[in-house]
Structure 1
């Protein structure tokens, strides 16, 4: 007869099973080694009790119970172990939700992490992003944090294009990470040991832009350095030149840039002698250059020169599965930078996942930094998330939205959960929540404990 517990133990370091309410039904023997909890003490008790006692964070079981779908995360335990955890809903033969099984793999040791990545393909891109982040930090290289199919395709194409000399243009909204991707392309290219020069064409005053880009000879103009100055393009010689916000480049300088691309020569201000340069050009814009060409604001010949290979980065709202991964990454970055131990509650993750992030990754990074530096406690709660994020969440969830068939009871519970969460976010006290929803204060208190407080 097959020993199923032994089979699970050979596949995973830790296995934990709960019923539909989150009470422990089974816990593998190695739990104590990783969490400092006696597995016998957990039997029949809500897993959330141990989460609130600080044995691990973040929690995952209640998210699976709430969303009725598979959830993945990186957990930190009281024993200071890093675990990759996958929570999977269990359905009985009648299709009724009956519980959750969590399987965990220890990823504390980076060498073991790499070995198990090669052996267990099912673990997925969240696991892979943790390796990328760790190795990038160790080597000082640029790392891309992603898990969406669209970004996998962008990254694969970027790595391929890094090996050729063709000019490429990165497209996408402001803040999606065009500068990070440009640096990544450079580090994947044969020019990785040569300079990478990043120039924001919109950040340098137009009166100084030409001399900054192309340099100048001594005495070229009043106030010029007596020995002259090399331009930023020349400083990128042999390496990669990244021109961000290329649409802001004035028309007169577009002509000079075209010469750089066609003839691989630059002429400093005040000189008549061109100098040879060899650069791989990457440009970026969030503007419609084709429309600018039609309006006479951008040269058509330059447009076709830089538009050889376009690579578009999708906005963050179109790859929401990356939001918790990026939050997790930035939380670690800023906690380490400011020597602060900060964690986000599950409710915070849910709120951040539902926000549209018009400022994309840059806005997300700024919000996480703000939460880390302004929090007075280890645990960051929804009350500390900026009000404008809550406001969009409330607006987006006005009314009842049904996007899939579900049991009537599940639908009613989901509506109640949203109402309680929104009411608490707005009013903060059980008395005011009761008044807003037209129910008694004891009823409001009971429902808040069920849907809101246990997740914070």
Structure 2
């Protein structure tokens, strides 16, 4: 006869089993060592009861019961042990759901974490991201935190492009992390030991942007430094120049930037002498530059110069599996920054994962910081999450949010494109798309051909 308890005990530090309602059926012998409670006291009682008593956080049992699929997380116990826990649904011979088996691995120390990474391949993604984040933070390097396939492709392409000198443009909505990706590209490149200069073209007044970018000679204008000043492009010489919000640059400055790319020279304000510069150029925008070219608001020759390699970062709502990882990352960052011990209740992760995040990663970062600094207790509960996030009715009926001013027709076209794309992703047929959008089937077909190139 196989001793299944002994077998499981040799593979995992702790095994815990509940029935289909979340009541404890069994806890292995080492449970008290890690959680501070005899598992025999838990038998027949709901596991959530012990979560609310503070023996561990977060809890995943009810998520497994609700979703009928595996769930894993990193759990902290009352004895301050860090455990990787995975909850797996179990089924009887008739295929009926009958309970949850939880397996726990102690990852309290960095050495144990590395050992478990080598032994348990299927938990690698979560743990490795945490280790990479910590190692990069110690080195002062930028780390990319992701789990989605789409962001993995972005990261792989970014690393590949970091080895070439071609200009590249980062595309995506405001707040998706274009600045972080640009810094990552620089740190993966052969220019890593040289300067990385980040310039937000939309944050500097147009009257000052030229002198900030190109520098100026002494006496160039009233109020200038008496000895002149080197421009930011010159300061990036040998390294990487990141021009964020490139669509905000005036046409006159676009001409001068084009000269930098073509001739590899700059001319400071008030000077007639050019200076050689060598920079790898990365630009970024959330605007439709192609449309701006058609409208005469962006130079076509510059567009093709900076648009050599486009790299688009998907919005956070399209990579929801990344939200818990990012929440966990920012929770650690701000807990350490403010010297506070903070944990999120398991329900908080679910609420945050279901929100659309129109402000993308930047909004998520701000919300987590707010939760950390405003919470009076170690455990952050759903009641502390801003109402607009966990109010489902508000999310379902909210209006369109306008982040910046654009041409009216451009805005209407973009709204139509997104509506058609969302409707097609959900319904797949022109008849159902037409019904969802309240238009005729022929109109739906035309719009699908226009925006999605469907046959």
TM above 0.5, yes or no, is yes
Q: Deviations over 1:270-325 (max 9, x none)?
A: 11111111111111110111111111111111111111111111111111111111
| Alignment CA distance shift 1:160-1:3 (3 Å) | farther
Tell me the equivalent position of 1:126.
126
Per-residue Cα deviation, 1:237-267 (whole angstroms, up to 9, x for no partner): 1111111001111111111111111221111
Task: Give 1:127 shift.
Answer: 2.3
The 5 Å alignment of 1:225-374 reads 225-374=225-374
Structure 2 partner of 1:89: 89
Structure 1 residues 385 and 112, CA gap change in structure 2 (3 angstroms): same
2:111 aligns with 111
Partner Cα distance (1:351, 1:215) in 2? 49
Give, in whole Å, the separation in 2 of the partners of 1:194 and 1:314. 29
Conserved 8 A contact 2:348-2:382: yes
Match of 1:406 in 2: none
Other-structure match for 1:425: none
CA deviations on 1:120-146 (whole Å, 9 max, x unpaired) are: 221142222212222222222211111
Is 2:28–2:39's contact at 8 Å kept on the other side of the alignment? yes
Partner of 1:136: 136
| Structure 1 residue aligned with 2:47 | 47
CA contact 1:292–1:298 (8 Å) conserved in 2? yes
Q: Distance in 2 between matches of 1:173 and 1:5?
A: 51
Q: Which residues of structure 2 form unaligned runs of 5+?
A: 399-425, 427-455
Moved more, 283-292 or 381-390: 381-390
Report if the CA contact (8 A) 1:242-1:283 is conserved.
Answer: yes
**4+ long deviations beyond 6 Å:** none
1:31 deviates by 2.1
Q: CA shift at 1:100, angstroms? A: 1.0
1:101 alignment partner, SS class: strand
2:396: which partner in 1?
Answer: 396
Take 2:325 and 2:364, find their aligned partners in 1: how far apart are those partners? Answer: 11
Matched, 1:76 2:76: yes
The change in CA–CA distance for 1:355 and 1:11 in structure 2 (over 3 A counts) is same
Aligned partners of 1:297 and 1:192: how far apart in 2? 34
Distance 1:349 1:119, change over 3 A: same
Pick closer, same or farther for the CA change 1:18–1:61 going to 2, 3 Å.
Answer: same
SS at match of 1:332: helix
Q: What is the aligned-residue RMSD (CA, Å)? A: 1.9
Deviates more, 1:146-155 or 1:371-380: 371-380
Q: Secondary structure at the match of 1:237?
A: coil
Distance change in 2, residues 1:318/1:252 (3 Å): same
Q: Does 1:18 align with 2:3?
A: no
Partner in structure 1 of residue 203 of structure 2: 203
For residues 401-448 of structure 1, give each alpha carbon's deviation from its aligned partner in whole angstroms, at most 9, with x where no partner exists: xx9xxxxxxxxxxxxxxxxxxxxxxxxxxxxxxxxxxxxxxxxxxxxx
Gaps in structure 1 of 5+ consecutive residues: 404-456
Alignment of 1:419-430 (within 5 A): none
- Whether the 8 Å contact between 2:163 and 2:189 is mirrored in structure 1 is yes
Which string of whole-angstrom CA distances, capped at 9 and with x for unpartnered residues, describes residues 64-119 of structure 1? 11222221211111222222222121122322111111222222222332333233
Does the residue aligned with 1:389 lie in a helix, a strand or coil? helix
Q: Describe the SS at the equivalent of 2:165.
A: coil
Q: Distance in 1 between matches of 2:184 and 2:120?
A: 27
What pairs with 1:188-227 in structure 2 (closer than 5 Å)? 188-227=188-227
Question: C-alpha separation between the residues in 2 aligned to 1:5 and 1:394?
Answer: 48
Q: SS of the counterpart of 1:396? A: helix
Given that 2:57 and 2:346 are in contact with CA atoms closer than 8 Å, whether structure 1 keeps it comes out as: no
Matched-pair contact (CA < 8 Å) for 1:125–1:146: no
Q: How does 1:52-67 map to 2 (within 5 A)?
A: 52-67=52-67
1:298 is paired with a residue whose SS is coil
User: Does the Cα contact within 8 Å between 1:172 and 1:285 map onto a contact in 2?
Assistant: yes
Q: Which residue of 2 aligns with 1:172?
A: 172
TM-score (norm 1): 0.83
Instruction: Give the Cα separation in 1 of the matches to 2:97 and 2:77.
Output: 28
